[in-house]
Amino acid sequence: MPTEYWANAIYSVIPTLLFGLVFWFVFRAIFRADRSERAFAAKIEAEERAKFEAERAAKL
């Protein structure tokens, strides 16, 4: 097979692979940010619940 055939095949696949990698990195960053945001929100909510329960117990 001619060398041009393989060069064309490689040049055809490279943009798809690069786009896939960029897509993967972007979504990975989005999911990690969402995970850390949810963990932080859960921590704040737990602190607020504990504070509310302490205030409620003090009133009784």
pTM exceeds 0.85, yes or no = no
| Band of pLDDT at residue 59, cut at 50, 70 and 90 | confident
| Band of pLDDT at residue 46, cut at 50, 70 and 90 | very high
| Band of pLDDT at residue 2, cut at 50, 70 and 90 | confident
| Band of pLDDT at residue 47, cut at 50, 70 and 90 | very high
Would you say the C-alpha torsion 46, 51, 57, 59 has a positive or negative sign? negative
Nearest Cα to Cα of residue 26 among 34, 15, 36: 34
Domain residues of the chain, as ranges?
Answer: 21-60
